[in-house]
Structure 1
Amino acid sequence: MMLLRFMLCLFVFIGALAAAGALVVSIALMLRFPPLLIAVVLACWLLSKLLKMLRNLGPNQPPNAPASVQ
């Protein structure tokens, strides 16, 4: 059981390091190529608008119905 817990912690640590490395590389690429930065900012803005629109819709409301107050 101790070995299994150690392996789990090891894989979580390796995954966290890989995620941090990918984040640093993607930020470096966005600073090196400005069109990529613009595309990422635009994609985040569109995702934010889409999530806000979906949050305002109720489970049984059609898309044209006014949003309910919660």
Structure 2
Amino acid sequence: MQAIKLREDYIKLGQALKAGGLVDSGVDAKFVIQDGLVKVNQEVEYQRGKKLVHGDIVEYNGEKIKIEK
């Protein structure tokens, strides 16, 4: 599991997928989220703009990202 350090209070889901290298672009993030392939804290998330904060865990394609301060 890799970690993403927050620069601000939160990071949006689409940005986190891109920053973690799980998708190549924001457009790719949009489609995998819309298709229900991404989970946040073990629940499917459909909002690309979902704000992620310290402690959240994102899962996609068998990989996980943890959001840290």
When normalised by structure 1's length, the TM-score is 0.25
Higher relative contact order (CA 8 A, sep 6+): 2
| Larger gyration radius, structure 1 or structure 2 | 1
Decide which structure has greater helix share. 1
When normalised by structure 2's length, the TM-score is 0.25
Decide which structure has greater strand share. 2
